[in-house]
Structure 1
């Protein structure tokens, strides 16, 4: 009898597993909401320089308002690159000659303008208050908004390292991990608690330390070797899996947060767009689980990375005027990268043995957080050319898909408990033979 059979006896799917899932899902939902709220709290409203003729009550009382706001705007604010009022410059003095019917809006020199030395006027029709309008994070200070996102995402990474241990206190420790690392007493207590919550009281009373020792004698004999983060790189098989899986996590964090935290750049309704992302994400994840049963882990992960990158790169060729097509491609790219995340979460757990599974997952999360931290900084490349950020966001997932091909397929394989199990999988792949009955449950959906 192996651990999977013990788990069947105490209840492999019952109230205990349901409560654990809820305990995990609730905080994750709040975290994701908090991560994406800057699309709204940090939105950049339409703005222009403060101009005396338009915004000074004394000037308005002088009778100039008879000219109308459009005329006063034309003589006070030059046209910007988008053929609307310039967002970062104003005329040093009113350009009355622009009111001449024969004059054109371009009849002015750069020397006649100056920065917004008196501040900005913001359009509050869509966003009544944002950090951008409150702290004037526009024009020469627009990079500070990107730095704010960088600092927030860096704080998430630091917080995960500091409070990760504290979180182990809303949740039960893995009984499988406890047993594989030789903590029989604690593992027995966890299994007994699972049996009690799942209504298997008879099993709880018969489950003893002696039963565990006899059932897991073989596994315990090979799982006592100390394992740590360094073990992931010392063992050849684990080193390959670690180095080949981490780029996918990095690509996910880099691409997802690079796009999802800059929805306003699509020039569409970000409220509707955010709703669409959330609504579509549920069926996409369910569909991913179904595809994993049919096609396996490696092809799904590689294909989703490639598709997400191609959708983003395609936007480089789409004119800015075709904003609905650009939005559709971005949405498709985000959902493809969501497929990648779902696949990676399952795939990573199956690639590494129980004694190192959470260590490997933690390292993978560091890779994802590292990508997320760098993602906002890439948007600064837009100063040099507007398509550069998209090129980078699209190229990273396409390139990272190559490393997925180095990973073994884990569909229908036994879930490895020890480092030796991983090595045995590599040997069986190198020397095909009649497959023996696995000692643990198959990892298929």
Structure 2
């Protein structure tokens, strides 16, 4: 009897699966917030040099005479090419002669200036505090700001690779619980980081765990869902990721201080950690990794929660023990054989961009469904880890591709368009997986090649690998 039939015996989409998703979707949504968190916690507000005559609280109104702040600003801060106050320099000495000019602007390059040696004054109308204002990541230090997001993405890459292997070795639930606790601790500590270096380190560790929270939750529900419902379940999970990213914008609107926002998206993981004890380990993984006793126990638990009576007759130990022969197949390697827009045509550009991003979102969802159905249980976590690693490499390369605009403004977009076209050429050679059970072993993958792309569910139950 294939695992798909065992799953049907205990309920392929019932009360248990719904409760499992209730526990799974919230941490997925909040973990998605961490991916884009620096868009708000590292926002760069308007700023200018700090100057004593304007910003020193000990200077009284009598010391500045009858001059207004705007007048004082004009003689102390030079104007940039857009006739806005310069963000990174100030006049070495007050330029009183500028007060005599009416509507004309002299050549600022002839006047002596200096960097903001005393710090900066920030516009706090949008954000009361960000990591940029916390550690003055502007002007000569502005290049340090992208380091945070890069380290978070690097953490996702490393975490996906390492924890993906550990998930296949020690189980989805154990590694998931560890990562929930890791993100709770690292995210909360990041809100109180005393230095920028410590903050970067904590965000790296947050990235390591955030990716696993998404992928392991993903597997825990997919591997408990019948074939006919997998596409719907995966779509719900990808929607949860999108909802989390949307929710982040609302949270950032309410919580304008970066410390508070960091805590708001981190502390819930302590709750998720304690509630994860009620999650059920993948029986599919337990059986395939030669743990039939534990797998049978989980199957009976699910049957009870789904209200399935008399299921134990089908869930006998002999059925599970047949899966021990799959262990030696683990060593097989057969699986691995197989920018800124110009004003012209603005409406058209926005429309095409919206259509393009919609197609990207749809293709990611379709790819996620197909990927999970092509990879066997024995290697699924590793494969998803490699998938995440590849996506993080793409995230790192994306900003570099944009530098090609100096050679040809449309070159990055040509590359972005041509690559999916080339990738689409190999899609027809992939086997059809619609309404077919998840593969468990490499032997299943090899046998699956024999199936017709038009194979229906009835044919499949005859040909599927026996447990």
- Partner residue of 1:410 out of 432, 436, 445: 432
Q: Is the 8 A contact 2:47 2:122 kept in 1?
A: yes
Distance 1:340 1:35, change over 3 A: same
TM-score normalized by the length of structure 1: 0.66
Distance in 2 separating the partners of 1:392 and 1:240: 32
Distance in 1 separating the partners of 2:65 and 2:355: 49
Tell me whether 1:318 sits opposite 2:421 in the alignment: no
1:359 alignment counterpart:
382
Distance in 2 separating the partners of 1:179 and 1:196: 19
1:225-264 to 2 correspondence within 5 Å? Answer: 225-227=328-330, 234-235=333-334, 238-239=335-336
1:107-126 to 2 correspondence within 5 Å? Answer: 107-109=107-109, 112-126=112-126
- Partner residue of 2:296 out of 162, 169, 188: 188
Q: List runs of 5+ in structure 2 lacking aligned partners.
A: 178-275
Secondary structure at 1:439's aligned position in 2? helix
The Cα of 1:367 is off from its aligned counterpart by: 2.3
2:40 alignment counterpart:
40
Q: Is the 8 A contact 1:351 1:410 kept in 2?
A: no
Distance 1:426 1:210, change over 3 A: closer
- Partner residue of 2:282 out of 140, 151, 174: 174
1:344-383 to 2 correspondence within 5 Å? Answer: 344-372=367-395, 374=396, 378=399
Q: Render the CA deviation track for 1:198-246: whole Å, top value 9, x for unaligned.
A: 1113113552113456xxx6xx497343326xx5xx42xx3366xxxxx
Q: Render the CA deviation track for 1:33-53: whole Å, top value 9, x for unaligned.
A: 233332222111110111234
1:438 alignment counterpart:
460
The Cα of 1:133 is off from its aligned counterpart by: 0.9
- Partner residue of 2:307 out of 193, 199, 206: 199
Distance in 2 separating the partners of 1:83 and 1:331: 34
The Cα of 1:399 is off from its aligned counterpart by: 2.0
Distance in 2 separating the partners of 1:33 and 1:434: 40
Q: List runs of 5+ in structure 1 lacking aligned partners.
A: 242-314
Secondary structure at 1:125's aligned position in 2? coil
TM-score normalized by the length of structure 2: 0.63
Distance in 1 separating the partners of 2:135 and 2:287: 54
Q: Is the 8 A contact 1:49 1:89 kept in 2?
A: yes
Q: Kindly tell me the number of residue pairs found equivalent between the two proteins.
A: 352
Distance 1:440 1:29, change over 3 A: farther
Tell me whether 1:138 sits opposite 2:138 in the alignment: yes
Q: Is the 8 A contact 2:378 2:440 kept in 1?
A: yes
Distance 1:92 1:412, change over 3 A: same
Q: Render the CA deviation track for 1:303-340: whole Å, top value 9, x for unaligned.
A: xxxxxxxxxxxx54434997x98887766665544334
Distance 1:94 1:440, change over 3 A: farther
- More relative contact order, 1 or 2 (CA 8 Å, 6+ apart): 2
Cα RMSD for the two superposed structures: 4.0
The Cα of 1:197 is off from its aligned counterpart by: 1.4
Secondary structure at 1:67's aligned position in 2? coil
Distance 1:121 1:42, change over 3 A: same
Distance in 1 separating the partners of 2:397 and 2:94: 42
